[in-house]
A and B are shown apart, each in its own frame.
Chain A
Amino acid sequence: MAADLHVALVAADREVWSGEATLVVARTTSGDIGVMPGHQPLLGVLESGPVTIRTSDGGTVVAAVHGGFISFADNKLSLLAEIAELSDEIDVQRAERELERAKAEGDAHAERRADVRLRAAAGR
């Protein structure tokens, strides 16, 4: 097997997660994409959605990513997002409250954000 991917999940104001991984699944505007070591160089636009990272030691990291980019070259994968949160950082109750409120106010963006958070938290 080829060497593992080096993944960096970077938000605008901090590096959220970085490490070695065997597989990264993310949602681009044209559908879900899975990247394994040795993939062709890729630059794509991400939809907001959960990103799943299978780490080299067998674990799984799930993060909620709100818009951004995925770029892959030379076995280095970067996920750039304005806002990104790891699933364990997500406060499920707060996200649920936000979802309720967004639904009540008809704020589609906020609703989507809260929904993505909940889905990422469910996938951990």
Chain B
Amino acid sequence: MGAQLRVYKRRIRSVTATKKITKAMEMIAASRVVKAQRKVAASTPYAQELTRAVTAVGTGSNTKHPLTTEAENPTRAAVLLLTSDRGLAGAFNSNAIKAAERLTERLEREGREVDTYIVGRRGLAHYNFRERKVAESFSGFTDEPSYADAKKVAAPLIEAIEKETAEGGVDELHIVYTEFVSMMTQTAADSRLLPLSLEEVAQESKAKDEILPLYDFEPSAEDVLDALLPRYVESRIYNALLQSAASKHAATRRAMKSATDNAGELINTLSRLANAARQAEITQEISEIVGGASALADATAGSDN
């Protein structure tokens, strides 16, 4: 076998191996998307009921609560960025990081100091590499987040927002995550979790224009709100974590699908090249034989004379 041909054969073998791996990863991601989507759906009733309850307390009473009142002069804000632990998901992480950077820039322009909280090793690596300060980071559960993980993430954030700004607390809480729109579309989105604008929450929950009944609060409206709001934040973060996970798997699936397709194309091109090289080799051999034979024939014809 010619040297050229051997090189092509070797490359085809290695690309075929890669293709098998990417194909497997694509299939795993596809099954995980479905699972993640199911988890998002399973968490919806809780989130819905909670939103309803928050709206009810917020609109049904005149309670002032630090988590619902806007600071007159917000000076510090916390941004929670959700990325994944592992890459191989196309532009999934860089899109989320870019969205967070845009948001941070905007907040800083408005005169707010920004504390960054990060979920996922990818985001953390990005910030560490650029030597930016990260208030706190979490990792190890981005593929399949549980409610306990959401609580763990929410705890320092709720603590920070309840603290006075002068003592290192924050006035606002923003979250940047990747919204799962469909299998093909996932968009990085940012939203403000706190202070809660009740109008927005009310709009979200009131698709069917219902009038909220006048509730009796047990033990009191303030206590209910005190207990509700942290749960509300946790459930929003949980939902964002789940959506992020679903988006990550969908992005991985897509990235791996195009990798598999590319590998297939590469194999095609390479096998054509290998065929051409083999043909060239054969042609060369034949012409060498023919050339040799005719030289031999010429030589014998010459000696006969």
Contacts and interface: CB of A to CB of B under 8 A. Distances in A.
Interface of A: 8, 10-15, 28-30, 33, 40-45, 68-71, 73-74, 78, 80, 82
A66 to B, nearest CB: 12
18 contacts: A8-B45, A12-B147, A13-B42, A41-B213, A42-B216, A42-B217, A42-B218, A43-B53, A43-B56, A43-B218, A43-B224, A45-B223, A70-B218, A71-B56, A71-B215, A78-B49, A82-B231, A82-B234
Contact of A29 (B45, B147, B219): B219
B53 A30 contact: no
Interface in B69-112: none
Contacts, number: 86
B39 interface: yes
Nearest to B47: A12
B228 interface: yes
B58 to A, nearest CB: 11
Size band of the B side of the interface? Answer: 20 to 34
A45 B218 contact: yes
A14 B227 CA distance: 21
B46 A28 contact: no
Contacts of A69: 50, 53, 224, 227-228, 231
A12 B43 contact: yes
State the majority secondary structure of interface residues on A.
strand
Nearest to B219: A30
A45 B227 contact: yes
B241 to A, nearest CB: 11
B213 to A, nearest CB: 4
A80 B50 contact: yes
Interface of chain B, helix or strand or loop or mixed?
A: helix
B146 interface: yes
Contacts of B52: 71
B207 interface: no
User: Nearest 8 A-B pairs (CB), nearest first?
Assistant: A44-B218, A41-B213, A12-B147, A30-B219, A43-B215, A73-B213, A45-B227, A41-B215
A28 B213 contact: no
Given A10-B49, A13-B46, A13-B147, A45 B213 contact: no
Contacts of A78: 49
B46 A11 contact: yes
Contacts of B213: 41, 73-74
Contacts of B231: 68-69, 80, 82
A82 B49 CA distance: 12
Given A14-B43, A41-B214, A41-B215, 14 more contacts: A8-B45, A28-B219, A29-B223, A30-B219, A43-B57, A43-B216, A43-B217, A45-B218, A45-B224, A70-B218, A73-B215, A78-B49, A80-B53, A82-B147
